[in-house]
Amino acid sequence: MSIDLPTLLRAYAIGLFPMSDGRDDPGVFWVEPERRAVLPLENFHLSRSLRKTLRAGRFAITVDRDFAGVIRLCAEAAEDRPETWINHEIEACFLALHDAGLAHSVECWDRADSGCDRLLGGLYGLALGRAFIGESMVSRARDASKVALAALVARLRAGGFDLLDCQFMTPHLASLGAVEMSGRIYSGVLGEAMAGVSFADPLGTSADFLALDALVPAAPDVLPTDCSERALRADVPFPPPPSTVSSPVSGHVIAQLLTQTS
């Protein structure tokens, strides 16, 4: 990788993030939007239909079960998005950040499929300080990305996060409660969320992304323990976290948590 991870983390800590012009474009450029989309955790809009979807258990919702699969799915061309900004360099960086315990994914699986080959949607991003910087989300079934975002918000609330950065506003995000703020205001909000971060030990000085698992222990699911096959590997500059995988948290529990704290 030409981007070293300490430099990447410092860039995110001041509001910059990398993008590329295409999947196979080797170049990477840094972006700092003039207007930033942020989803206030207390303002997440849990609509009646989304609550019903969560409680119906249409998806098996997991965390960090297949990070590589989620980022690959996000990078795939789609009818409404023929090209992607996630090139192989950015993908490799995030696989390394995931190995370091700093990047996480939320997955939505086909509940009716007993295997692990029906990934229907999800999202991934970076947990740094008390901020979660969402990088990309994807849906291959109705409501899959909404369910993934609801699961993420419940997790961030439980873990003591202050900021969910969505980078760019979309109608989809706005319908779920996201708001836009100027770069100047965002910089102050981000600075507060980054207070106390040690770049020598960023995992140890960040909010607890896995806190929800301790609060709401879930029963084992039918999904295999590890679904990922890492096509890209990278050296990790920080000690890796313990090799544990979270049990799925049911959609019904997520709906209850979001209802109680809304």
Reported as a single tens digit per residue, the pLDDT across 207-241 is: 999 999 887 765 444 444 444 333 223 344 444 44
Query: How far is residue 28's CA from residue 201's CA, in Å, rounded to a whole number?
Result: 26
Residue 262 and residue 259: Cα distance in Å, rounded?
A: 5
pLDDT at residue 252 in the model: 82
Q: Is the dihedral of CA 139, 145, 146, 147 positive or negative?
A: positive
Greater model confidence, 258 or 169: 169
What does pLDDT average to over the chain? Answer: 86
pLDDT digits (tens, 9 = 90+) for 159-189: 999 999 999 999 999 999 999 999 999 999 9
CA 67 – CA 33 distance, rounded (Å): 26
Rounded to an integer, what distance in angstroms lies between the CA atom of residue 240 and that of residue 41? 28
| Window from 4-8, 220-224, 249-253, 255-259 with minimum mean pLDDT | 220-224
Query: How confident is the model at residue 86, as a pLDDT?
Result: 95
- pLDDT number for residue 113: 60
The 8-class DSSP code of residue 239 comes to: P
**pTM higher than the cut 0.75:** yes
